[in-house]
A and B are shown apart, each in its own frame.
Chain A
Amino acid sequence: MLRNEAATRPDEGSPLLQIKDLQTHFFTQDGVVKAVDGVSFSINDGRTLGLVGESGCGKSVTAMSILGLISRPGRVVSGQILLEGRNLVTMSDEDIREVRGNSISMIFQEPMTSLNPVLTCGDQISESVSLHLGLDRRAAMAKAVEMLQRVGISDAKRRAREYPHQLSGGMRQRVMIAMALSTNPAILIADEPTTALDVTIQAQILEVMKEMRVQNKMAILLITHDLGVVAEMADDVVVMYAGKVVEQAPATTVFEEPHHPYTLGLLSSIPRLGEHRRRLEVIQGVVPNPLNLPQGCLFQRRCRFAMPICNVAPPLQEVTLGHLSRCWLTPDGQPPAVGANASGEPAEAAAVQLSVESR
């Protein structure tokens, strides 16, 4: 239907990770929750993509889908997740485990939940190293210590013999990163990696991630709600709202010329350093109930620019080259010529006309 590979320039080869029209639904007793509803984006070698949105927008479910970690009552219903051309959705469990260890690694918000409390940090890293790189015990442990050093843990030999609970939060997150990177993955999925950390520790971890990104030439899918972290880390940004991508563009574009009213609202509602006592812009209302989504545009009930045409769901369309937005507003942010007023042709007809025009 529409070009979705906007973040990739057309002259580059096939992307490292490509997600096409991913649908992940949860079949609950109260109904079907479309946690991820037709999400497409791609990440190229060595680039960092920031996946942004509020809780419940589907950003973490997207990551879990990539790793094949969706469990009942959830299921990847349709779509493709192509890693170097191989579709992860149709892969056998065994193959996907292989991918999970070798090509994709993941770090989580709360490292304590993903570290084994009864194994030393060194043991945990060396276990994954020996599993995936086929090293013997001694070499694997040496590699583990080396990894701990590389993520900036001083006295790495001693730390390798300690258990996760003996470490501070920032230290544990470093151990997680060391473990994730020990197998030289092509892509690192980081789900809110610094949300649980203090700002000075966050700064340390972001520095480590930046260094590792350069050293390993690795791509990062960075999932976060913190726009500051995204601005600092990401090359490209995908903004999600209620299971759908609403805006997608290079980071500078998203921060300087956001098009979708939701992105605009988010950016103007956060207090920023150096802007004392300015009245904050507000996005009214709350995220819609996933079991009771509104007709048409999912954001319209909270949107300042809502128009009659918004009762028809807008497609994700190109605003400028490489900049996609799911909104009926024209590229310069004006109401479209048709469908903006209640009078005139029915909204559906206007919508058809608009989406034809936009191609």
Chain B
Amino acid sequence: MAAMPGTQIAAAGMHSGGPPVVDEIDLIPVRTYWQLVRRRFLQNRLAVIALGLMFVLVALSIAVPLATGELYTKTSLTRGSLPPSLDALFGTNQIGQDMFLRNMRALQTSLFIGFMAVLIIALIGVTLGAIAGYFGGKVDNLIMRFVDVILSLPVFFMILIIVAALGKGSALVVVIAIGLTGWTLACRLVRAEFLKMRDADFVQAARALGASDLRIIARHILPSALAPVVVAATLGVADSVVAEAALSFLGFGINPPETSLGLLLKNFDEDLLVRPYLLVPPGVIIVLVVLAASFLGDGLRDALDPRQRIESK
């Protein structure tokens, strides 16, 4: 036992006269919150695989375009419409561009859009949700009615309008369009958590200690409220990648010579029968991104919950 002598109400020990104190807790090793989170996460095999997959995708999307530079835009009239080979892993398109390089560049663009959009979503959603949930009353009413208004509009048309207004073709515009329209779910999640936790005993205890609203929000409510947001955000990455794909597919997203996963699928009707090998890689990559993000989200949710027990194996 790690007890210091004389500090407990009673001395430890079976027959020492004083009543014995049994410290079950000493059997469990001390771990910090993040150590526990890591342990719980590592126990979830699917989540670990998803993390590895996400890591590989991100690494490829950074490394390949970095190493090959502008090569992905290079056309070649002699090397048009080649099927996959060792020379060109994913084949080439009609104008002879290397599809492996283009896919990697597309992945980079799509992931950038995905992560940046989620960042905007989280920023707006968490801020407004926290304010609405914590302060309640009129503020809450105002924010939530605004959310209702946004939710009542068809999201995709709003995105199209924003893109049309800001100018087509730029990744940043796509990010802003997706971000500005997608924060309502995060806002509702955070608001619900804040509403629930605003009157939790431990929050009231902090208030009784004299903690400021800011400290209560940042130190007590947000860490707990963030778990669902982190989950929603990882899933949001998947959603944003898909949204971008849809936009580009419709011609409202990225313009050539830049590329994105959606853009690669754009000529689907022409390619499907003639050059199916052009459609498989971007399709598979989108699915992989979505799956990795989903399982990562699930794993994070379980790992971030401090009440989850560590399974002893």
Contact = CB atoms under 8 A, between A and B. Distances in A.
B19 A302 contact: yes
B19 A285 contact: yes
Interface string A286-318: 101100100000001110101110000000000
B311 A306 contact: no
Contacts of A284: 9-10, 19-21
B311 A29 contact: yes
Contacts of B21: 284-285
A30 interface: yes
Interface in A238-289: 282, 284-286, 288-289
Contact of B14 (A29, A300, A304): A300
A283 B10 CA distance: 12
B24 interface: yes
Contacts, number: 35
Given A29-B311, A301-B14, A289 B19 contact: no
A301 B312 contact: no
Contact of A29 (B10, B20, B312): B312
B218 interface: no
Contacts of A300: 14
B20 A301 contact: yes
Contacts of B15: 306-308, 342
A302 B15 CA distance: 10
10 closest Cβ pairs, A-B complex: A284-B19, A289-B24, A285-B22, A301-B22, A301-B20, A29-B311, A285-B21, A30-B312, A284-B10, A306-B15
A286 B21 CA distance: 8
Interface residues of B, number: 12
A308 B15 CA distance: 8
B24 A286 contact: yes
A308 B22 CA distance: 18
Interface in B12-39: 14-15, 19-22, 24, 27
Given A285-B21, A289-B24, 7 more contacts: A282-B19, A284-B20, A288-B22, A301-B20, A302-B19, A302-B22, A342-B15
Contacts of A307: 15
A233 B19 CA distance: 33
B222 to A, nearest CB: 32
Contacts of A288: 22, 24
A286 B24 CA distance: 9
B311 A292 contact: no
Contacts of A301: 14, 20, 22
A306 B9 CA distance: 18
A307 B14 CA distance: 9
Contacts of B24: 286, 288-289, 292
13 contacts: A30-B312, A282-B19, A284-B10, A284-B21, A286-B22, A286-B24, A292-B24, A301-B14, A302-B22, A306-B14, A306-B15, A306-B20, A342-B15
